[in-house]
Homo-oligomer: A and B are copies of this chain.
Amino acid sequence: MEIDSKRVIELLTAADDVLILTHKNPDGDTLGCAVALWHVLTAMGKRAAVINGQPIPKRYDLLFEGLEMPEFEPKFIVAVDVADNKLLGSKLDALYGDKVDLCIDHHATNVNYAKETFLNGDDCAAALTLYRIFAEMGAEITPAVANALYTGISTDTGCFRYSSVTSEAYRVAADLIDCGADNARINVAMFETKPFAYYDMLSEVLSGMRTFCDGRVIVFKVTNEMFEKTGATPDDCDAIAAMSRQFEGALCGITMKEKANGGFKFSLRTHEPLNAAELCAEFGGGGHMRAAGCDADAGKEEEVLSKLVGLIEEELK
């Protein structure tokens, strides 16, 4: 059920022993929202804990500095920036997927799995959606909350670069900086720090890249063999995926990333007029208009690629 901000505030105010769930392959938006909410709930005298089904990439350590998560039997479960219970990952989905009391999200593709959902599909980041809730609640934006929300907005917009960024997002960023967000440090950690292995992987990917539709579609393929050779992590690949639509004249970048089981995760990045979420929906995936993903079973990746390129060719006609 979709709810309004007033109801979110009622729920958060009444809740205690709050478990905050984040999505798999955690990014700065899901983690930033979770940590910001943790601080606000904790400041209200409640017990709260943030969990994720996977190890959290090191660059997000700054969000968790000095935090200790209490242990308790959850009485209220919130998911932030999680569009589908499947995105919790199999472990957390099995435990909590059908027990989420409240979901706060900005994915227009949200499948409405939670008991109550607060959704703003126009927001460039769930952290912006959450900021408005905090503002309406009158919650104090401490430097820690500001850091977490700034991280969410900054990372989900390629540092204020994407078409989703409105003047409101810039103004909220300004307010967060005035509340103590350390934008310089956050942006260095999120955007200006990449492992040497990332660059090795980038070299590999560039040398194997393919183009389709007269250079309007760029395809990067990342195999497990390349992961082993370079030592890069799947997380390193996300930044490489963003690069796939930056070629002059390209309208779609496709990054095919092999998973441990031999299947492939496809990440699409598009420019107008291509809708990444709609393209991925054809293969059971989803996401945003300009960035979305879908999966291909082991051995089926080239078939999925070929169908996808066919769809894009149709669209561009």
Contacts and interface: CB of A to CB of B under 8 A. Distances in A.
A177 B184 contact: no
A201 to B, nearest CB: 10
A288 interface: no
A183 interface: yes
Nearest to A170: B174
A8 interface: no
A42 interface: no
A261 interface: no
A247 interface: yes
B196 A184 contact: no
Interface string A190-209: 01111110010011001101
A193 B246 contact: yes
A162, A168, A209 interface centre (most CB from chain B within 10 Å):
A162
A161 B175 contact: no
Contacts of A192: 161, 245-246, 271
A173 interface: yes
Total copies of the chain = 2
Interface in A209-229: 209, 215
Interface range for A: 35 or more
Interface in A169-191: 170-171, 173-175, 177-178, 183-184, 187-188, 191
Given A165-B183, A170-B173, A199 B247 contact: yes
B202 A206 contact: yes
A275 to B, nearest CB: 15
B177 A162 contact: no
Interface string A153-171: 0000011111101111011
A248 B196 contact: yes
Contact of A184 (B163, B188, B215): B163
A136 to B, nearest CB: 20
Contact of A170 (B177, B195, B203, B206): B177
Nearest to A194: B246
Contacts of A170: 170-171, 173-174, 177
A47 B118 CA distance: 54
Given A194-B247, A203-B207, A248-B194, A167 B178 contact: yes
Given A161-B159, A194-B246, A246-B194, A177 B188 contact: no
A218 to B, nearest CB: 9
B177 A166 contact: yes
Contacts of A178: 167
The 8 A-B pairs of least Cβ separation, nearest first, read: A163-B184, A170-B174, A167-B177, A167-B174, A171-B174, A160-B160, A161-B187, A170-B173
